[in-house]
Amino acid sequence: MKSTLNHIIIALVALAASYSPFASADDLVVTIVEPYIDFRTGPASEYPIFHVAEQGEKITVVKKKTGWYKAISIDGKEGWVSAEQLGKTLKPNGEVLYVPTGTFEDYGNRNFELSVFGGVLENVTSMTVATSWNWTGNLVAEATYTQALGDFSENKLWSVRLQHHTFPEWKLSPYLTIGAGQISTRPRSNLVQSGDEERKSDLYEVGGGLRYYIARNVTVKLEYRRIAALTDRDDQERLEEFRLGFAVFF
């Protein structure tokens, strides 16, 4: 009874914890061609090397955590191998195993990117998260969410944008953006007696940015955008935002 319960718990935990349980059905077995491969006790370069697998030995790769791979040697030792060392092993068909290390070339082949920005929207500190999808290399589709909580009002903006990277092959690459979305503004409660007076309006934005590839899977971005909020009053509201942030890609 207890062991059934244990199994259920383990099954639930494993289900919850494994992103793709199908991957564990088959294992990746690679052959070492370099003189040796280091096995570490944890997934970081600071962890000590406790075992060395030698040339010609086969190791089974089980899982991956950031740039580290958990491997099992033929004598059952389990340890963490770096992406750099694993990238010099051979697959069963004799080909060199391709291991992405987040190089600039990998950046060109990315699918998704997650960005975080801090900036200034009309003198108010703003925070932005964005997720983008690399459509053609030149064209990137992006969804962004920004909050700017000021002394007088709380502003929340979302927009769907299209970026155009004219020279995506440059490490420092400029791009243009165009998008549409919504802005909601709520005055501070101590300024308005009647309470919530939230206003929602559509917005259009144009802007540009600079992207710089730093290292591994990280890029830095500097962006500027002009926003036109179509308010129900007579005049449009124009806003400006500068922001600086970084992005990781998958």
Partner 1 sequence: MKLRKIAPQVIDKLNKFTVSFAALLLLCAGLSQAHAAQPAIASIQDDNAQERPPALIDPNVERREIDESDIDTENFELGVFGGFMTIEDFESDAVVGATLAYHINEHFFLEAAYAETTAGQTSFEKLSGGAPFLTEEERDYRYYNLSLGFNINGETFLTDNLVFNSDFYLLMGAGSTEFGGDERFTVSVGAGYRLLLTDFWALRVDVKDHIFNSDIIGVEKDVHNLAFTLSTTFFF
Do the Cβ atoms of 45 and 101 come closer than 8 Å?
Answer: no
DSSP label at 96? B
Minimum CB–partner distance for residue 68 and partner 1 (Å): 7
Based on the shown chain and the rule CB under 8 A, indicate whether residue 108 belongs to the binding site for partner 1.
no
Q: How far is the CB of 160 from partner 1 (least distance, A)?
A: 20
Contact range with partner 1 by CB under 8 A, out of 132-140, 160-168, 172-180, 185-193: 185-193
Angle, alpha carbons 234-239-242 (nearest 5°): 175
Radius of gyration, alpha carbons of the chain: 25
Alpha helical stretches, state H, the chain: 2-17, 83-86, 104-108
Contacts of 131 (CB under 8 A, 6+ apart): 112, 113, 114, 115, 142, 143
Is residue 184 within 8 Å of residue 155, measured between CB atoms? yes
Residue 27 binds to partner 1 (criterion: CB under 8 A): yes
Stretch that binds partner 1, among 56-64, 134-142, 161-169, 174-182 (CB under 8 A): 56-64
Residue with tokens 């927009």: 159
- Which one of residues 52, 129, 178, 222 is an interface residue with partner 1 (CB under 8 A)? 129
- Pick the binder of partner 1 from 149, 178, 222, 244 (CB under 8 A): 149
184 near partner 1, judged by CB under 8 A: no
Binding residue for partner 1, selected from 1, 5, 16, 232, defined by CB under 8 A = 16
**Identified binder of partner 1 from the candidate list 154, 178, 210, 237, rule CB under 8 A:** 154
CA atoms within 13 A on the CB side of 206: 0
Number of H helices, E strands in the chain: 3, 15
- For partner 1, the closer of residues 28 and 139 by Cβ is 28
Count CB-CB contacts under 10 A for residue 53. Answer: 23
Give the count of beta carbons closer than 10 Å to the beta carbon of residue 130.
21
Binding part of the chain for partner 1, among 58-66, 135-143, 204-212, 235-243 by CB under 8 A, reads: 58-66
> Min. distance of Cβ 104 from partner 1 in angstroms?
16
Q: Which residues pair with 200 in a beta bridge?
A: 184
x/- letters, 193..222, toward partner 1 (CB under 8 A): --x--------------------xxx----
d(CA 166, CA 5): 58
For residue 21, the minimal CB distance to partner 1 (Å) is 7
CA distance 112 to 134: 6
Is 99 near partner 1 (CB under 8 A)? yes
Residues in contact with partner 1 by the rule CB under 8 A: 6-7, 10-11, 13-14, 16-29, 41-47, 50, 61-70, 76-79, 91, 93, 97-100, 114, 116, 118, 125, 127, 129, 147-151, 154, 188-190, 195, 216-218, 248
